[in-house]
Amino acid sequence: MVLRLDEIVARFGGEIVGAGDTAVSRIDTLQHAGPGDLAFLANPKYRHQLATTHAAAVIMAPPAMPGLVAAILTPQPYLYYARVAQWLNPAPPSLPGIHPSAVVEGNVAATASVGANVWVGRGARIGDDVVIGANCSIGEDVEIGDGSRLAANVSIYARCRIGARCLIHSGVVVGADGFGFAREGDGSWVKVPQVGRVVIGDDVEIGAGTTIDRGALGDTVIGDGVKLDNQIQVGHNVRIGPHTAMAGCVGIAGSAVIGARCTVGGAAVILGHLSIADDVNVSAGTLVAKSIPRAGTYSGTVPFLEHGDWLRNFSRLRHLDEMADRIRALEQRLAALEKKS
């Protein structure tokens, strides 16, 4: 696809500086872009690369740098880049139909595409324009909304529900049993049946290798617009509010409730039965060991604190040895003074 800058601005807004008929066919970084490429500047620390880029045009926040051939000015260049990149890189088309090797016992819309070696269980309902990649397993009574796409080797257990326009990457498991066991007096374990579902809203993306456990009694619920990175563990009966995003290797224990529009950094851990308010940002590697009742940024491990408090405390932590030496010296001086008196 080849686009002119004036076509892009007509669709997404912004201000053109330079030639509006400049044509671009792909997006690349400032450092690697060449003629015909559209670059973007979202992080000010790369602004010096504007002087040497070979891009045909640049998406950037105002003001434009003198000497650029052409630019699109917008207050949110990274968001603008994402929208243009979607336009230039649409999802690959799929042909409706069911592969001869697939086993389909449920109801599949005529416009859906079902790949090789897929199993669709009894009572399952697959919506219009759904794409199901090779080797997927779709359990009994599963619902998948219109326009959702499943990459190869995805497993959706019985009775779970996937909303519209979701994107689920390879290796995802939705609806496996939660980790529920009761302990006998002799230390052995008795399994608690996991009879709930996983209910996933619209426009959700789930990264490769992520697992979302079904509820023990009620449902595990993933709200509209949630974005989950690779290799995330979501325990049973967890509830994640709309438009929350989580980076890779996050672990969420059972029955935690996470609000809307939160962000959770990579490898953070959220303990079970906690509540996190809307608009909370949890830094990477943070251990959330108690509920967070108000919006803000939180960091740390033992214990986690509001971000500013953690930074102040950690700055003192680095000087613990020095402080300990000073305390010992003061104690010795005090002891000497007490002997003299």
As to burial, measured by CB atoms within 10 angstroms (0-12 exposed, 13-18 middle, 19+ buried), residue 45 is exposed
Element (H, E) at 309: helix 307-317
Residue 190 DSSP SS3: strand
Q: How many CB atoms lie within 10 A of CB 302?
A: 6
Q: How many CB atoms are located within 10 Å of the residue 61 CB?
A: 16
- Backbone angles phi and psi of 325, in degrees to 5: -65, -40
Of these residues, 54, 169, 236, 307, which one is catalytic?
A: 236
For tokens 């269980």, name the residue. Answer: 121
* Residues 202, 221 contacting (CB under 8 angstroms): no
Active site residue 236: yes
Cα–Cα–Cα angle for 214, 178, 144, rounded to 5 degrees: 20
CB neighbour burial string for 206-228, b if at least 16 within 10 angstroms, e if fewer: bbbbbbbbbbbeebbbbbbbbbb
Catalytic residues: 236
